[in-house]
Chain A
Amino acid sequence: MADDRRARTIALKIKRQDGPGQPGYWQEFAVPWHPRMNVISALMEIQKQPVTASGQKVTPVVWECVCLEEVCGSCTMRINGRVRQSCSALVDVIAPGDGPIVLEPMSKFPVVRDLVVDRSRMFEDLKRVKAWINLDGSHELGAGPRQSPESQEQTYPLSRCMTCGCCLEACPQVNPSSDFVGPAAISQVRLFNLHPNGKMHASERLEAVMGEGGVEGCGKAQNCVEVCPKEIPLVDSIASVGRDATKHMLLGWLLK
């Protein structure tokens, strides 16, 4: 039994790209299996010995990873056609028949090299929707506002968004011909508009997601919720922000 295990190899088929704007191409690899193996450890094997399944020596596959425990969002890619983090993609679960495991970079962001993409647009979007509390300063100002345990239970899940990009990748409305901001940033609008201090600037955030590329761009495909690794209720967030934005559009001028 032990010997069988040692001999077992996992097949990987990886979409590669040498640099931004360059054509993609596929390469196949076979790496030795080990217990509790995840896609990252398979990539690490290729990094150590960059040789394809047919014995060709190649440059090692480039990918992005940091925490390896699905809390930083870095290692997101398409695995067997589905977008997810590669650290938590356990080989025995996704490839019980030893593969091939198909790895591709996310398609909604520019490729830097191989599986690495540039997600800076997501961070720019967080600027656009003012995803922050307007703090007076970091100096001593006493305790913050009291909040009920229920409100914490509502905001904490929203606050776990890693800006990983899964929801944008899966969203049909996020495409080259649309400037839809995507579920992640809209959900952050909801998060900050729920906070007792954040509420004071709710209208600024709502205005940021009204109009072109805003919350109305959602086509209600609901793919976002399906792929979110943190199970953030993104559809609820979009609905809630959409309602608030409508209310603000109709009545906002009265309240000013």
Chain B
Amino acid sequence: MAASKSLVRSESGKVRRVIVVGGGLAGLMTVIKLCEAGVPVDLFSLVPVKRSHSVCAQGGINASVNTKGEGDSPQVHLEETVYGGDFLANQPPVKAMCDAAPSIVFMLDRMGVPFNRTPEGLLDFRRFGGTLFHRTAFAGATTGQQLLYALDEQVRRWETVDVEDDRGERVAGEKMVRKLEWWEMIGLVTDDEGVCRGIVAQDLKNMSIVAFPGDAVCLATGGCGIVFGRSTNSVINTGTAASAAYQHGACYANGEFIQVHPTAIPGADKLRLISESVRGEGGRVWVPRDPKEQRAGREVPESARDYFLEEKYPGYGNLVPRDIASRELFKKCFHEHRGVYNRESQRNENEVYLDVTHLPREILQKKLAGVLEIYEKFVGEDPFVNPMRVFPAVHYSMGGLWVDFDRAANGSLVMGSPRNQATSIPGLYACGEADYQYHGANRLGANSLLSCLWAGMVTGPAIAAYRKNVARSAWDMPSSLFEKAEKRERKAFEAILALDGAENPYALHDELAHTMLVDCTIERDNATLDKVLAKIEEIAERSRRVGVTDTAVGKMNQGAQYVRHLRNMIVLARVIALGARNRDESRGAHFKPQFTQRDDANWLRTTMAFHKAGANGENDAVRFVRAVDYTLLGQRVEVKDEVDTTLVRPRPRKYETAGAASTAAKG
């Protein structure tokens, strides 16, 4: 911005703010970093931020603090993370994240997160998947909730702090954070040069639509698990904001990489997660050796149990990475028909046992109470006495909005570079599960809380630098820019309210979710994927003929909102399924029985997708590219789809061998 102008106040006296969309861990961390840099923020969230999906994370957060004297280090954490991700993650951002992890956990501790403690009063750490080390800090089994609350409290504190102008004088009535809860981002505002200047949002209490200027916009809007219907995700995780940004021209990367978590409780409305920490604390997965075993789980003697993960993977055992564990569970149930036998239905259900009954109750209550409570409440059985029955469920999207990074000479990141976490739309940033950056083809357990916080810590300074150097502030743009965007979104919403077709949007979503869940998750067959794609196109076509279930105007209208989410989910489903169809190899969570090997020669690359809007009533399409090209602060940046593997050289994954994930770590 021109040096003579105030960074904080516009000519007309308005406070120049940046926009953060999403109040989960990544969004809140971004807000905190921005506030500390003196940047006022408008924080938008679909729900009161304290109710964001981050609360569902149970097990913990990884940091190689090495308090157990095992020889753990950030270097080992880096190696195991990229190995676990089957080498698809760019390594510099991962290195930066792993290096920062101990200080992030210490920061959370200072914020008051009630982490479990060792007898000496230090932070306790437990084991998680894909490593042999105790690397996961935890607060009971509701770690995500506790972390989110700590950040929520800090952001609330910033809500009480006055904005200061460039001379350090307080601006009356203006606080550093202005929260807009129950507001949904429905579109971006970009100028003629394609630079993001704000968002259009809808007040969900009365459905009014308003454009907001922002000197930069950050999307921290989470994943898209609801595309698959029932999953471990919260109902708000439809990916609607990321989809809107993608449809506005942002690149979407690695969409096909969807994590299926091995252990969840089957349910009609949701597949509730049973944390990996249950296995980290000694929980064991098994099925009866006899497929027609009639006895209840607790009565089956040790000799009649098949601990199939421990047998096949003697080193990592029940703590193999999630992609592997989920495939093994799936194989047991679907291919070998050896899921737990149900005497009533007289068939082998799609369930295996997850057993903690051999562990001391006192330890379980201190370390896993939250999660065992969920099992007891929702299944109505006591997990201390009866082995739990679980099955894999869609859990996390490794893919997301493509974001850039600025590599430092030492292999880490250039902190404060405006390139970090920048999407292909200048001025638009993304972080958290909404981005694609940190997990490659498969995320290790307890790395998601870390990546959310770390990405927020990177995005805050990146946006602060961008805002300082952007040629023109959004507050100096003509108001017509915002009026036009507002009008566009109002028209789109009115069109939804007028829909009176025969298709039921909820039934349509069920159909979409069913095809995605059954044929586009753990095993992906090309012929079947072709059918999935045909189904998606059919659903896209039918989605134009839905009838909106609620036509209320001027008041909360979830029916109309749902139609918008449905359409945005269909768009993402296409990106996911086409990405899967194209990628003829197996890597991490993406597994094709026809191509069981990883193919680095052809596929060690990022999938980069752009939206192609359908003209004249035709369906939309996806344009895949080999490089992203964008102009940031006057500089042209070109990024190819090659993966930066300069720190840890790719090698085949062999979890059958203990310590295979890190050359420095021999269990």
B-binding residues in A (CB < 8 A): 18-19, 34-38, 40-41, 44, 47-50, 59-60, 62, 64-74, 87-88, 90, 93, 112-113, 116, 118-120, 123, 126-127, 130-135, 137-144, 146-149, 151-153, 155-156, 159-160, 162-163, 191-192, 195, 197-198
Q: Which residue of B lies closest to A143 (CB)?
A: B106
User: Chain B residues with Cβ under 8 A from A67's Cβ?
Assistant: 51, 53, 55-56, 234
Q: Which of B47, B110, B552 contacts A66 (CB 8 A)?
A: B47
User: Chain A residues with Cβ under 8 A from B507's Cβ?
Assistant: 48
- Whether B48 contacts A148 by the Cβ 8 Å rule is no
A34-B268, A131-B153, A133-B153 are contacts. A62–B558 as well, Cβ < 8 Å? yes
How many whole Å from B267's CB to the nearest CB in chain A? 6
A130 to B159, CA, bound (A): 11
With a 10 A CB-CB cut-off, give which of B116, B149, B150, B273 has the most chain A CB atoms. Answer: B149
User: Chain A residues with Cβ under 8 A from B374's Cβ?
Assistant: 69-71
Q: Which of A93, A113, A142 contacts B555 (CB 8 A)?
A: A113
- Whether B205 contacts A146 by the Cβ 8 Å rule is no
- Whether B33 contacts A198 by the Cβ 8 Å rule is no
A138-B32, A198-B112 are contacts. A156–B552 as well, Cβ < 8 Å? no
Q: Which residue of A lies closest to B510 (CB)?
A: A48
A47-B506, A74-B47 are contacts. A149–B156 as well, Cβ < 8 Å? no
- Whether B146 contacts A59 by the Cβ 8 Å rule is no
Closest 9 CB pairs of A and B: A144-B109, A146-B121, A132-B153, A156-B114, A72-B51, A68-B270, A48-B506, A41-B269, A144-B110
- Whether A116 contacts B457 by the Cβ 8 Å rule is no
Q: Which residue of A lies closest to B102 (CB)?
A: A143
Q: Which residue of A lies closest to B57 (CB)?
A: A71
Number of interface residues of B (CB under 8 A): 74
14 A-B pairs within 8 Å (CB atoms) are namely A37-B268, A41-B269, A62-B556, A68-B270, A70-B377, A71-B56, A116-B556, A133-B154, A138-B32, A143-B109, A149-B116, A149-B119, A162-B51, A162-B55
- Whether A119 contacts B48 by the Cβ 8 Å rule is yes
B504 interface residue (CB < 8 Å to A):
yes
Stretch at the interface among B78-86, B137-145, B298-306, B436-444: B137-145
A71-B55, A72-B55 are contacts. A140–B103 as well, Cβ < 8 Å? yes
How many whole Å from B114's CB to the nearest CB in chain A? 4
- Whether A146 contacts B120 by the Cβ 8 Å rule is yes
How many whole Å from A154's CB to the nearest CB in chain B? 9
B357 interface residue (CB < 8 Å to A):
no
User: Chain B residues with Cβ under 8 A from A71's Cβ?
Assistant: 55-56, 142, 145, 370, 374
B491 interface residue (CB < 8 Å to A):
no
A254 to B362, CA, bound (A): 44
How many whole Å from B121's CB to the nearest CB in chain A? 3
- Whether A36 contacts B378 by the Cβ 8 Å rule is yes
Q: Which of B150, B157, B504 contacts A48 (CB 8 A)?
A: B504
B380 interface residue (CB < 8 Å to A):
yes
- Whether B114 contacts A149 by the Cβ 8 Å rule is no
- Indicate with 1 or 0, residue by residue over B423-455, a CB within 8 angstroms of chain A CB atoms: 000000000000000000000000000000000
- Whether B555 contacts A18 by the Cβ 8 Å rule is yes
- Whether B555 contacts A19 by the Cβ 8 Å rule is yes
User: Chain B residues with Cβ under 8 A from A87's Cβ?
Assistant: 269-270
How many whole Å from A115's CB to the nearest CB in chain B? 11
- Whether B107 contacts A147 by the Cβ 8 Å rule is no
A142 to B103, CA, bound (A): 7
- Whether B50 contacts A123 by the Cβ 8 Å rule is yes
Q: Which of B53, B111, B139, B506 contacts A133 (CB 8 A)?
A: B111
B122 interface residue (CB < 8 Å to A):
yes
Q: Which of A68, A127, A160, A195 contacts B159 (CB 8 A)?
A: A127
A18 to B32, CA, bound (A): 38
User: Chain A residues with Cβ under 8 A from B555's Cβ?
Assistant: 18-19, 113
- Whether B111 contacts A149 by the Cβ 8 Å rule is no
User: Chain B residues with Cβ under 8 A from A34's Cβ?
Assistant: 268
User: What would 20 more interface pairs be, CB under 8 Å, given A123-B48, A133-B150, A138-B29?
Assistant: A18-B555, A38-B378, A50-B549, A60-B558, A66-B235, A66-B236, A67-B234, A69-B56, A69-B270, A72-B50, A73-B51, A113-B555, A118-B205, A144-B110, A148-B121, A151-B117, A156-B139, A160-B142, A163-B48, A191-B112
- Indicate with 1 or 0, residue by residue over B117-151, a CB within 8 angstroms of chain A CB atoms: 11111110000000000000001101001100110
B272 interface residue (CB < 8 Å to A):
yes
- Whether B269 contacts A132 by the Cβ 8 Å rule is no
B283 interface residue (CB < 8 Å to A):
no
B10 interface residue (CB < 8 Å to A):
no
Q: Which of A59, A138, A140, A147 contacts B121 (CB 8 A)?
A: A147
B160 interface residue (CB < 8 Å to A):
yes
Q: Which of A47, A72, A135 contacts B234 (CB 8 A)?
A: A72
User: Chain A residues with Cβ under 8 A from B366's Cβ?
Assistant: 153
- Whether A141 contacts B556 by the Cβ 8 Å rule is no
User: Chain B residues with Cβ under 8 A from A151's Cβ?
Assistant: 117
B550 interface residue (CB < 8 Å to A):
yes
Q: Which residue of A lies closest to B373 (CB)?
A: A70
Q: Which residue of B lies closest to A195 (CB)?
A: B112
B383 interface residue (CB < 8 Å to A):
no
User: Chain B residues with Cβ under 8 A from A138's Cβ?
Assistant: 29, 32-33, 36, 107, 154, 457
Q: Which of A141, A149, A195 contacts B117 (CB 8 A)?
A: A149
- Indicate with 1 or 0, residue by residue over B546-578, a CB within 8 angstroms of chain A CB atoms: 000111101110110000000000000000000
B115 interface residue (CB < 8 Å to A):
yes
- Whether A148 contacts B205 by the Cβ 8 Å rule is no
User: Chain B residues with Cβ under 8 A from A146's Cβ?
Assistant: 120-122
How many whole Å from A232's CB to the nearest CB in chain B? 13
How many whole Å from B204's CB to the nearest CB in chain A? 9
B498 interface residue (CB < 8 Å to A):
no
- Whether B154 contacts A135 by the Cβ 8 Å rule is yes
User: Chain B residues with Cβ under 8 A from A50's Cβ?
Assistant: 549-550
A69-B56, A116-B556, A123-B48 are contacts. A133–B110 as well, Cβ < 8 Å? yes
User: Chain B residues with Cβ under 8 A from A163's Cβ?
Assistant: 48, 50
- Whether B112 contacts A152 by the Cβ 8 Å rule is no
User: Chain A residues with Cβ under 8 A from B47's Cβ?
Assistant: 64, 66, 72, 74
- Indicate with 1 or 0, residue by residue over B45-73, a CB within 8 angstroms of chain A CB atoms: 00110111101100000000000000000
A66-B236, A138-B33 are contacts. A148–B117 as well, Cβ < 8 Å? yes
- Whether A68 contacts B269 by the Cβ 8 Å rule is yes
